[in-house]
Structure 1
Amino acid sequence: MVSRVIPVQPFDLVVFGGTGDLARRKILPALFRRYCAGQMGDAARVIGAARAEMDDTAYRDFVRGAITEFGADTACAPDQLEAFLGQIGYVTLDAQGAQGWDALKARLGDADRIRAFYFSVGPGLFADLAARIETHGLAGPDTRVVVEKPFGRDLASARSLNADLAKHFDETQIYRIDHYLGKETVQNLMAIRFGNMLFEPLWNSQYVDHIQITVAESGGVGSRGDYYDKAGAMRDMMQNHIMQLLCLTAMEPPAKYDPHAVRDEKLKVIRALGPVEPGDVVRGQYEGTDSLPGYLEEVGDDSSRTESFVALKARIGNWRWAGTPFYLRTGKRLRARASEIAVVFKDAPHSIFGADAGRHRNILTIRLQPNEGIEMGVTIKEPGPGGMRLVDVPLDMTFSEALGPEAGDIPDAYERLIMDVIRGDQTLFMRGDEVEAAWEWTDPIIEAWDAPGAEPCPYATGSSGPDDALALMHRDGRRWREIRI
């Protein structure tokens, strides 16, 4: 199977924060991989913009280093890197002042082409950048702006950011990026549901017992301690990444696959979420070991009550999902790095095989990482004599095995999403009202944790999380799926 790469139109991409960690690790290597694939043509230009004093030559050396470190596995001809670097430029610029804006305007010129501005900076600079782009006449009908999370830290700040951007850009020009939506398996979730008659008739509370969504990380907060301690797992992961996975899993079929229809259905899911009861949410902090620091040591604050783990039970109040709980969990320093959506179907209404056959359930698992793929658990007879003994076996579709060598060339999330920005496709980006609705559901949970005595539960590094999270499932007669190593 050979994937077809369609080149995008010529474009200019300005990366504010062009010397930052996100640009170095993700954005610049992603652009280079798309260049090597033939999707980013020779007429495209990438301009880094930051406060650091640097000329084009120095910035190209910076980009070369980033690609060498984070994009070295890209299959490219030896001369392609130098050709790509020839399309790179740099402007020293002050996001909150006048320095560099005239130089940036001169660089961009008056060419009639797609122009994208990537805000790879903190949200505190979004309003300043948006205002200066308009003031200096850099925006036009084909202008797009890309904004990174965190998009606010609560409903009030999200509304303020939306209002600041709306002063200068139409909603159709704003791309709120969540890299989880760019993952191949996340998009395959929609293909599985709406492209196969096998699943959609069963995708409801009549046949589904419950759904688990897990995003587990084996590492700690590391160098992100200062940011993370102000955010926590609820703001950093649950409100955005996991919320998006929940929406795609639970939403009704859109009338068609386009940005407005898909995002309308996601918004309906968020608005149908019921409030989370205090007993249905668990938060935790990882403890240290002899060789690894605990959360408090990593953030340098012995009094911090910020959570590094959250597990909760969510309910969706609509006809499709009434009575079917969604169990969501995310955390750091857990047993393994793994992300998956598990759809656990109900037992057969009657077993003809007797009590000795045991309890068996079909589970559809969508793996996001590692080894992206889809697995369907089915029950069969155990081979051999001795009667009808049942055993569960997986029907496994790991992309790299099922689709051949080309599956290894699947673009990563940033590659796909940046090219979607250039194409003007907002399907995999969050809309402003969607972001606000997510915060409206999340805020009461976080506010309850500010109460006196509301302390996170400690949990051991390398475990599955706090014991209270296990009890959250056990009391319902269910259990979490094991976090695989």
Structure 2
Amino acid sequence: MSHVQERTQHIGEPDISEIEQRTVRSGTITGPASMVIFGITGDLSRKKLVPAIYDLEHDQQLSPEFDLIGFARDTSDLDDVLRDSVIAHARTPFDPGVWARLRKRIHFVQGSFEDPTAFAALGSRLAQLDLLRGKPANYVFYLSIPPSAFETVCDGLAQVGLHRQEHGWRRIVVEKPFGRDLATARALGASLERTFEPSSIYRIDHYLGKEAVQNILALRFTNGMFEPLWNNRYVDHVQITMAESVGVAGRGAYYDGVGATRDVIQNHLLQLLALIAMSEPATFDADSVAAEKIKVLSAARLLGPLGRTSARGQYTTGIRDGVVLPGLTDERGFPADSATETFAALTVGVETRRWTGVPFYIRTGKRLARTTTEIAVAFTPPAGGALVSRTAPVQNVLVLRVQPDYRIELQIGAKRPGGDMDIESVSLDSDLGSVFQPARAAYERLICDVLRGDATLFPRREEIESSWRVIDPVLEYWADAAPPASYEAGTDGPDAAARMLTRAGRMWRPL
């Protein structure tokens, strides 16, 4: 079929100017673009990316002029693979009509990352789609591949001129890990910027796409009761926890030698710290939000001595609900002498006028008692007063829970019924997940933002490098220290983590 014949099938669809007007008017539909996924046969693409794109199509969030191109070495079974992935992993119910509508705009290019002819074929396919749809050359290149292949793919795109923004825009999306330390992060950033403009590089941290995480800023800056207390005069300490009950089975090839600190703290948890500690930006655009986060991360430092203010561990065999849970070195892909930590806890200070003297305790671990991610802001108990002196002190704690549920909890002191003035800690609790309609999945929000050119939820290169500056010292310290302490699967982690806080007269919140 000729291009002219193919074009006649699109009579009746809105033209580009109409689509762009709808985008501006409603803000609920993306503009005309083509997205290329490198690594479309991988786990991330099958379980997250393609289902998210289906959900966006189901909810009519994608432009009719959106095309998806899968770049893969073998495309023979991709029709069935992608359909099955959508059925298994999409948020919305599978609708054959929606899938058929989307499938008409899914295309494949077969080849390897080292094959120049495959990139030439990709360029030709993108040009054909632009002509067929009558749309500008707006391209997203999603690198759902190991970082070791980033430079090869960027070089392949550059060789056929697909990085140029002469007609339309270019955006490249990369997944973590963003390096193994500060030096490799800098090298990776420089490699990407040799081909693409810094403003065109979108670094995905899927945690920032969660509604509960975005609600941190809404809670802080739209409620007048919190911001006056958000400083070292009223905040005693902050705890940031990401605990998982699952182990690392099936991730041995990636996780061994990486560990909990690189996998979670350097990105997800330091981003949460930045959102909690940042000052209100002048405006809530991408540049202003990034500037305030960079200020926090640039001022963040590990508090020492590290032998007393940090802890790491590795899970061993345990029992939960009568089921035996294997230890790390019993998992497939891990050597018996693996020194990879599956638990890490750090004490971070933010050396600004607002936060000096307030410790931020950060912990993460696999095979812990339960799965939860939360931020707990513990306020300084009141000093003196007739009533305070008669009762046991109650610490007010504001808890922002990200998963498994999406809720806000405030612990306060209240009088217990009876004649005496007995004060007890009680919780004011709001389950926001039940208050609001079910939210879109994180990847849906982030893919939409990439297509719209909104980089607010994407960490900048300066944020990534500042985060590595925070954790590099502890990684160097642990490289020469004793192996990780053992903790039984299904517990709260190693004893050393509890001692971190008890030395300061504090305790971790129970999992």
Identical residues among aligned pairs (%): 41
| Correspondent of 1:129 among 129, 132, 153 | 153
- Are 2:325 and 1:292 aligned? yes
CA-CA distance at 1:351 after TM superposition: 4.6
Q: How does 1:43-442 map to 2 (within 5 A)?
A: 43-54=65-76, 58-71=77-90, 73-75=91-93, 77-109=95-127, 110=130, 111-141=135-165, 142-277=169-304, 278=306, 279-289=308-318, 291-298=324-331, 299-353=333-387, 357-382=391-416, 384-403=417-436, 407-408=437-438, 410-442=439-471
Given that 2:256 and 2:334 are in contact with CA atoms closer than 8 Å, whether structure 1 keeps it comes out as: no
Whole-Å separation in 1 of the counterparts to 2:189 and 2:94: 40
Secondary structure of the corresponding residue to residue 267 of structure 2:
helix
Structure 2 residue runs without a partner (length 5+) = 1-25
State the match for 2:7 in structure 1.
none
State the match for 2:8 in structure 1.
none
Secondary structure of the corresponding residue to residue 180 of structure 2:
coil
State the match for 1:36 in structure 2.
58
CA-CA distance at 1:302 after TM superposition: 1.4
Mean Cα deviation higher: 61-70 or 131-140: 131-140
Per-residue CA distance 1:43-83 (angstroms, 9 max, x = gap): 211111121242xxx32221101011111x41464411222
Whole-Å separation in 2 of the counterparts to 1:264 and 1:45: 34
Structure 1 residues 53 and 59: alpha-carbon distance in aligned structure 2, compared to 1, 3 A threshold: closer
2:226 partner amino acid:
F
Per-residue CA distance 1:194-246 (angstroms, 9 max, x = gap): 11211111000100010000000001111001210121011100111111001
Secondary structure of the corresponding residue to residue 376 of structure 2:
strand
Whole-Å separation in 1 of the counterparts to 2:66 and 2:32: 5
Given that 2:257 and 2:339 are in contact with CA atoms closer than 8 Å, whether structure 1 keeps it comes out as: no
Mean Cα deviation higher: 99-108 or 414-423: 99-108
CA-CA distance at 1:13 after TM superposition: 0.6
1:231 partner amino acid:
V
Whole-Å separation in 2 of the counterparts to 1:99 and 1:460: 52
Mean Cα deviation higher: 5-14 or 232-241: 5-14
- Are 2:40 and 1:18 aligned? yes
Secondary structure of the corresponding residue to residue 256 of structure 2:
helix
Whole-Å separation in 2 of the counterparts to 1:78 and 1:104: 28
Given that 1:60 and 1:89 are in contact with CA atoms closer than 8 Å, whether structure 2 keeps it comes out as: no
Secondary structure of the corresponding residue to residue 312 of structure 2:
strand
Given that 1:284 and 1:459 are in contact with CA atoms closer than 8 Å, whether structure 2 keeps it comes out as: yes
Whole-Å separation in 2 of the counterparts to 1:270 and 1:396: 30
Per-residue CA distance 1:341-389 (angstroms, 9 max, x = gap): 000111012253355632212111110001112112222222x332222
Whole-Å separation in 2 of the counterparts to 1:61 and 1:324: 53
1:292 partner amino acid:
L
- Are 2:482 and 1:454 aligned? yes
The TM-score normalised by the length of structure 2 is 0.89
- Are 2:506 and 1:478 aligned? yes
CA-CA distance at 1:397 after TM superposition: 1.9
Whole-Å separation in 2 of the counterparts to 1:274 and 1:108: 46
Given that 2:238 and 2:360 are in contact with CA atoms closer than 8 Å, whether structure 1 keeps it comes out as: yes
Mean Cα deviation higher: 334-343 or 161-170: 161-170
Given that 2:339 and 2:484 are in contact with CA atoms closer than 8 Å, whether structure 1 keeps it comes out as: yes
Secondary structure of the corresponding residue to residue 416 of structure 1:
helix
Mean Cα deviation higher: 255-264 or 170-179: 255-264
Given that 1:59 and 1:89 are in contact with CA atoms closer than 8 Å, whether structure 2 keeps it comes out as: no
Mean Cα deviation higher: 272-281 or 122-131: 272-281
Secondary structure of the corresponding residue to residue 255 of structure 1:
coil
Whole-Å separation in 1 of the counterparts to 2:385 and 2:44: 53
Q: How many residues align?
A: 470
2:473 partner amino acid:
P
Secondary structure of the corresponding residue to residue 353 of structure 1:
helix
Per-residue CA distance 1:84-106 (angstroms, 9 max, x = gap): 22221111121122242122112
Whole-Å separation in 1 of the counterparts to 2:245 and 2:354: 35
CA-CA distance at 1:415 after TM superposition: 0.6
